[in-house]
Chains A and B, each alone.
Chain A
Amino acid sequence: MTQFDAAVAAVEAAIAAGARYADARVMHRRTESMSARNGDIEELEQNEDAGVGVRALVGSGWGFYAVPDMSDAAARAAGERAAAIAAASATVAGKAVDLVGSTPATASWASTCEVDPLSVPLSDKGDLLVRVTGDMHRAGGDQSTALYRIWDTHKWFVSSEGHRIDQHVRECGGGISTTVIGDGETQRRSYPSYRGQYGTRGWELINELDIAAHGERVVDEARALLTAPLCPSGETTLIVGGEQMALQIHESVGHAIELDRILGWEAAYAGTSWLDLTQLGSLRYGSDLMNIVIDPRIPGALGSFGYDDEGTAAAPRDAVRGGIWVGVLAGRDSASAAGLDYAGSVRADGWARLPMVRMTNVGLEPGPHTLEEMVAATDDGIMMDFNRSWSIDDRRLNFQFGCEIGWEIKGGKRGRMLRNPTYTGIGPKFWQSMDMLSSESLPWGTPNCGKGQPGQVGHTGHPSAPARFANVRVGVRS
């Protein structure tokens, strides 16, 4: 029995049990992660999971059931359970659910991968982490860590409309970080970011990062931060570095344009959105420099795929064009509820979770400037980069970010380091103050996006570049 056979059996059983639509995903996923601290391996984990998840639509209610068993009998039983669960939803029913069209495809897709990360010997991978963290610890990094993570996922998707799609996605990434302990506080520096950089790529991504070459600098910066002056409090011109910009996009744009949030489907937990669908196409989100694109096709970016978990082919779409809000992240049911005609942004965290609206690659198109030009054009301001903390309200408006490092900018030059830099603002006001944007774009990967109940972890990509913002409140502290 093939994986497709199991998916077909599950879908057939759900339809036979009364579903008017059903789909099934068989998934097999292997993961591996390793971390080291101060020259010793701290954790080596290898995981494998596999199963079938069935989604059934009965009336206006969805039902979902998943089992870690791909036998014909188990798959059929799962389909029947999904339909029965959907029927129970009728106790508290609402408007009928419709799905926007999705061309039934028979297709295969695989991410590109030069070096299979699971084939690299554990000893080589371990030696790298041990050596780098040992060197960093000896250089003065009190708690110096390095990690990598690998995901190797096969999916087989079948729907009652005729989809039959298999995909093989390999994801990989990692990084280094050090924490130094001062008198009553800690300082942290990381490379290329706290959790590392990730993509739908192979071990070549880790090789390109060359983490060993950055350990000593990271430690030196962390130690220097212990005695650096505090980030001043007040309003100033702020230059946000590319790594922090990726999170700024993720939190204050990516989540805000999720259609399930806009429709109130996530109101109780993840929250809603400040965006109102009646303003789609006319609302000013940011300055003219702000162009946000949803694009799951970017080679190597973490949010890339061939088809989403509803079988919709990957396609680019504008979310913000010239500062005007023009698009959303949608699924087939949410798009129908909103009167839109496109989907393509639905994914699930494994076979045992219900697919839901998730970011793919949501990125800022590059601008006309360089970081050097932005600094030179700033008479008095602060630059911050490398996220240390993040918090935003349930409508995705009021945010506060802390960064690992800041720099004073005076007279067009980057000067002394500043410790504990933070900035806060209101999303549209902040984005409308963006007056310079760099062309130096990178597709940052975020492997830890939480959403949904039961909780799901999503992998998202965010092309971003340094940008400058006017009159930003900085230096918030306890």
Chain B
Amino acid sequence: MSELDFAGRIVEMVKAAVPDADTEVSVDTTALALTRFANSMIHQNVADETTTVRLVTHLDGRTVASTTTVTSDEALGSFVARTVDAVRIAPLDPGWPGLTPAAALATSGTADESVVNATPADRAARIRAFVDAAGGLTTAGYCRTRHTHAAFANSAGHAVAGSTAEIAMDGIARTGSSDGSARAASAFLSDVDGAILGARAAAKARAGDGAVELSPGRYEVVLEQTAVADMLQALAMFGFNGKGVNERQSFLEAGAQQMDAAITFVDDAISPGMIGLPFDTEGTPKQITTVVDAGRTVGPVQDRRTAAQAGTQSTGNAIAMAFGAFALNLSLRPADGDSVTEADGPAADSSVAALVARMSHGILVTDHWYTRVLDPRTLVMTGLTRNGAWLVENGEIISPVRNFRFTQSYPQALGPSSVIAVGTHAIAVPNNYSQASFRCPALHLASWNFTGGASG
């Protein structure tokens, strides 16, 4: 039985029990396989394939959401009965936004067979290549393949299905005193080359050996794509979330020029090659949503609940949590420019090297690490640099520097006249904790507030 048939069947089961209920059902079958290496050997190698059913029932002003992975006929009958019993005694839910009306998808998504059929040997081969390309340095990381077939149906007659698949690789190479990283993700297996990533990570690690500690303070920075992706995650979670805006906990102000004119953010799961399902957990078709256009704020992303509160329409960004609406496919538009190549030295690629070449005095940063919000409204974050940072003088990389702690408002760093340049090459950066797929180029920013060094 397909996921779509499965979802429709559960809608009918609920309808038979409570004909007047609003019902929505998501069925998601995800096969995840992840091969992990450390100390240059594979030490963990896991896989699972799980079908998860999510049922939301709204009856007489009350709402219950239930999920199960137990999908035998008997278990599903019990699951539906439990949910129906629960909704009769659940507390009132005045914010129920109603069901998604029938609507066509822009695409059914991309689930390339090369990823769907990837084997443990495919993943191990990429790791072998990464380890070999690191030239004797100690390596660690993972290679992951994941594909999802999903469907949604509701009692209003809306039913959609789609798929997505991703290969991701993320690894480090280590000298005795420094780490360098490289990572990539794609909808296509052949796009991720362990040898290229291993060589890049090793080049960073070697260039990071003998790092010196610099005084904290404000520095110009070039943030590589891997560090910029952290900014996108924070902006997606807190700044661009319709719920945060409704609750006045976001900095976002529609119509205001809040960012530099070089900055355009869009949420896009549907363009060719994107990694993500073509509809959200409420069944709303994904669309290309512009959040910030040339620095001017357009508006946050919405789910049906946040949209109803704001008096607008869902943008297809429900994630089945009270957390609010999430831009799972947030992208920062790259600048126009030449095609990218590998670069000598620690810069991730030629687009990063081009930004470094224009920096008079500043820091090249590979990664952010353990970033947390100090204040959601101003989106002041603290975190650290990781996997390589270098002092740049007059466009030349002078010396590796030890990791900094920073305390920085992200929207302020992207504010008007704060962005010196946007890189020309955007990459999809693997995400560790959700199905999000952020895509971004490197950034050259005028000022970044480093508030501490390695010694405190």
Contact = CB atoms under 8 A, between A and B. Distances in A.
Given A123-B89, A143-B247, A476-B407, A268 B170 contact: yes
A62 B45 contact: yes
B90 A41 contact: yes
B39 A94 contact: yes
A40 B65 contact: no
A43 B322 contact: yes
Given A41-B93, A86-B45, A392-B370, A46 B456 contact: no
B121 interface: yes
Contact of A186 (B181, B249, B433): B249
B433 A450 contact: yes
Given A89-B35, A265-B38, A186 B432 contact: no
Given A268-B142, A426-B456, A454-B46, A89 B124 contact: yes
A35 B63 CA distance: 12
Contacts of B354: none
Interface in B258-284: none
A66 B70 CA distance: 13
A108 to B, nearest CB: 23
Interface string B31-54: 010111111111111111111100
Contacts of B375: 185-186, 420
Contacts, number: 270
Contact of B433 (A95, A455, A473): A455
A51 B50 contact: yes
A48 interface: yes
A383 to B, nearest CB: 19
A42 interface: yes
Interface string B352-393: 000000000000000001111111111010111010000000
Contacts of B456: 398, 424-426, 429, 473
B291 to A, nearest CB: 21
B263 to A, nearest CB: 19
Interface string A24-41: 000000000011110011
Given A35-B322, A44-B63, A352-B48, A264 B38 contact: yes
A339 interface: no
A349 to B, nearest CB: 12
Nearest to B249: A186
Interface stretch (B6-14, B125-133, B337-345): B125-133
A266 B69 contact: no
Contact of B66 (A45, A65, A478): A45
B82 interface: yes
B60 to A, nearest CB: 13
A91 B407 contact: no
A48 B69 contact: yes
A68 interface: yes
A291 B376 CA distance: 36
Nearest to A91: B124
A92 B42 contact: yes
A72 B375 CA distance: 52
Given A40-B93, A46-B82, A398 B386 contact: no
A186 B376 contact: yes
A123 B48 CA distance: 37
Interface string A420-450: 1010111001000000000000000000001
B68 A85 contact: no
B171 A268 contact: yes
Nearest to B65: A45
Given A46-B82, A184-B377, A126 B42 contact: no
Given A398-B384, A400-B382, A62 B142 contact: no
A126 B41 CA distance: 50
A62 B228 CA distance: 34
A336 interface: no
11 contacts: A40-B95, A44-B91, A46-B67, A49-B52, A94-B39, A94-B40, A186-B377, A393-B405, A420-B375, A453-B142, A478-B378
Interface of B: 32, 34-52, 63-71, 79, 82-83, 86, 89-95, 119-121, 123-125, 127-128, 131, 138, 140-142, 144, 170-172, 174, 179, 181, 247-249, 321-322, 369-378, 380, 382-384, 386, 403, 405, 407-409, 412, 432-433, 449, 451-452, 454-456
Smallest CB-CB A-B distances: 5 pairs: A94-B41, A126-B91, A88-B120, A91-B124, A43-B322
Given A45-B65, A94-B42, A266-B38, 13 more contacts: A34-B91, A40-B92, A43-B65, A46-B66, A49-B67, A68-B50, A84-B120, A92-B37, A92-B127, A179-B247, A393-B405, A400-B405, A476-B382
